[in-house]
Structure 1
Amino acid sequence: MADDRRTQLLDLAYAYVREHGIAEVSLRPLAAAIGSSPRVLLFLFESKDGLIRALLARARTEELALLARLSPAEGLTSAAKLTWEWLSAPEHRPIIRLWAEAYARSLVDAKGPWAGFAESTVTDWLEVLAGAQPPAERDSPDGLLRRTAALALLRGAAMDLLATGDTARTTAAVHRHLP
């Protein structure tokens, strides 16, 4: 029963942080918004850090599931273009905004629930992109460099898109500079 309630509250909390952000989330307003109490959240997640870790894990799981569906066997450039289509879609802005917020926080707060989030994200995305490369390319040093360049381009363009909302310009830049 507690596991069902934990899952239900995690789903509601995830929807809340997608809309309101995660870096400065406060238990009292979050609990009120999702029909719970800070005490119940602390019981189910052990601490505020435990709740944040669970929310970050949930975001990562959703992001990877969505990205994994985009990795065609047609090559890195094709996979990167499909990934950009997903990243730049207006309906995905909340998860990309949440990712950017958690990524940045992880870079400046290497302890607590944020620890390792940015590095894990890089590793996750490189693995997704590797799945689109033929084995000979994937396993070569140049293959890793191409994935890294594609990831840097996608990540930078996503940050730019979040800041400006200029889909046409960022999409044109991504398509022009993909490895």
Structure 2
Amino acid sequence: MSDHPASPSARQVELLEAAYRYALEHGLADLSLRPLAAAIGSSPRVLIFLFGSKDGLVRALLARARVDELAVLAGPGPDTESGEAAGLVPAAEEIWAWLREARHRPLLRLWAEAYTRSLIEPDGAWAGFAASTVTDWLGLLASCQPRHERDTADGTAARTAVLALLRGCLLDLLATGDLDRVDAALHHQLGLIRNGPVR
């Protein structure tokens, strides 16, 4: 028997995409299989068959959301023409330009929900989501730093601070919708970082 799971069927992929669209609109916290199945043209029995359990479906939905998150992270990085690192501040500005767009709010609300649930329920379907997203984002930010800064204590602290700034501003924006105030705060802090020893 193969150690690798079988590739998902076309029907499983189709239902996962439909369930993902449903989750973006309704969230995952109170996900119930019966209304979900009715909304996407399936049945609880079929969903259990395809995903193994409700937790299995939630794990698949979190993995699907991570695909979209990683697509965001594919943007910034080393400058492809010069080979030079973009720098933390330009990377943060590019990431923030994406995060602040209203059309991305459903995905980001889902991210915030999953992040919080993974802290409260570390052993369930949400296990590891928060830690993996921190690792993903720190990895991206490290790739944007000059090579000589990446493995230093200051370089690690700088990218951790930028991640905290982005995450804090994002949560504030999701909570209040006050884009002008949050934009101003983010750019104020990035200005301080730009003028600091590690950029």
TM-score > 0.5 by shorter chain: yes
Give the superposition deviation at 1:65: 1.2
Note if 1:83 corresponds to 2:89: no
Deviates more, 1:43-52 or 1:57-66: 57-66
Larger Rg computed on CA atoms? 2
Selected match of 2:68 from 38, 62, 87: 62
Unaligned runs of at least 5 residues, structure 2: 1-6, 79-84, 194-199
Q: How has the CA–CA distance of structure 1 residues 29 and 132 changed in structure 2, closer, same or farther, with 3 Å as cutoff?
A: same
Q: How many residues end up aligned between the 2 structures?
A: 179
Q: How high is the TM-score relative to the length of structure 2?
A: 0.87
Kindly provide the amino acid, as one letter, of the partner of residue 155 in structure 2: G
CA distance in 2, matches of 1:172, 1:138: 28
**Counterparts of residues 14-53 of structure 1 (less than 5 Å):** 14-53=20-59
Bigger helix share = 1
Unaligned runs of at least 5 residues, structure 1: none
CA distance in 2, matches of 1:2, 1:135: 39
CA distance in 2, matches of 1:122, 1:2: 28
Percent of aligned positions that are identical: 63
**What is residue 11 of structure 1 aligned with on the other side?**
17
Kindly provide the amino acid, as one letter, of the partner of residue 152 in structure 2: S
Q: How high is the TM-score relative to the length of structure 1?
A: 0.96
| CA RMSD after TM alignment | 1.3
Give the superposition deviation at 1:71: 3.2
Give the superposition deviation at 1:69: 1.3
3-state SS, counterpart of residue 114 of structure 1: coil
**What is residue 166 of structure 1 aligned with on the other side?**
178
**What is residue 108 of structure 2 aligned with on the other side?**
96
